[in-house]
Structure 1
Amino acid sequence: MRAIENENGGIFLNGLCVACGVILSLMPWYLELGSGTYAARNAWICGGLIAIVGLMAISLSYDWEEYLNLAIGLWVAVAPWVLGFAAVTHAMWTHVVVGVTVAALAGLELWRLYQVPTARSV
């Protein structure tokens, strides 16, 4: 397991993950989706998880947190087709954009964890 203490760059990346999680969590209300829809439930659960993991990684990032955010981000990006709400265009695009963004941010954090000299094994 690897860890890195975050300075400005790491705090910014994880702050963006928190923002993505909050955006995804609020999306069902903004788009007026019914609370019983797969799109709304997926947005609330995954958005909350993304925000929580991002908050946990603000000061100190572990590789497992970034792998988890990578997996959640990829799931969010493909969920409209897997769960069958791709026809709801606004919900689909929100999921795809947030999912790809979270996966990319997690990839950047993983690169930092394995390439930056200040990262360490724990």
Structure 2
Amino acid sequence: MAMHLSTRRWQDQVILLLGVWLFVSPWVMAYPSDSPPAVNACIAGAMMAALATFDLYKTYAWAVFMNIVIGIWVAISPWLVDVMTDLAMSGSMLIVGLATIVLGMWELRTDPDLHQQWAGT
């Protein structure tokens, strides 16, 4: 019983969009490209988007776990890259990070390909 890519891996599609948003958010919010918040958002967004794109092709548990770890970093990074005074940027990072964590956990719990990997089949 095969599910279509669009219904089975929708979490990866959303994480891909979140990663793209995170990547472009410094420009949208007029941050200097060499500022710590911009560098952080660009690197984390690019990694999220790349992992999600890879995951759309073939799901691997390690790629989902990496996106969860990046999501955790993104969620806590506003306090670490001194962006808490900017509610738009810190809110964006917090929402993207938390959404990535939730989506990654959801995928780990529901994707049958990941369950087969854990079972070793």
Deviation at 1:30, TM superposition (A): 0.5
Give ranges in structure 1 of 5+ residues lacking alignment: none
4+ residue segments displaced more than 6 Å: none
The alignment yields a C-alpha RMSD, in angstroms, of 1.9
Corresponding residue for residue 89 of structure 2: 91
Separation in structure 1 between the aligned mates of residue 57 and residue 32 of structure 2, nearest angstrom: 36
Report the alpha carbon displacement of residue 58 of structure 1 after superposing the two structures with TM: 0.4
Shift of 1:36: 2.0
Identical pairs, percent: 23
- Structure-1 residue corresponding to 2:7: 9
Letter in 1 for 2:109: W
Cα deviation for residue 27 of structure 1 reads 0.3
Q: Are residues 1:76 and 2:74 paired?
A: yes
Instruction: For residue 57 of structure 1, give the secondary structure of its aligned residue in structure 2.
Output: helix
Q: Which letter maps to 2:116?
A: R
Larger relative contact order, structure 1 or 2 (CA cutoff 8 Å, min sep 6): 1
Instruction: Give the structure 1 partner of residue 64 of structure 2.
Output: 66
- Report whether the alignment pairs 1:120 with 2:113: no
Q: CA deviation at 1:6?
A: 6.9
Q: Hey, what's the Cα distance between the residues in 1 that align with 2:100 and 2:10?
A: 13
State the Cα distance separating 1:100 from its structure 2 match.
0.5
- CA deviations on 1:62-119 (whole Å, 9 max, x unpaired) are 1101110000001000100022211121110110011111111110111124xx4884
Contact 2:60 2:114 in 1 (8 A): no
2:21 match: 23
Counterpart position of 2:99: 101
**Could you list the runs of 5+ residues in structure 2 that have no partner in the other structure?**
none
Separation (CA, whole Å) in 1 of partners of 2:82 and 2:62: 29
**Aligned pair count?**
116
Instruction: Report the structure, 1 or 2, having the larger helix content.
Output: 2
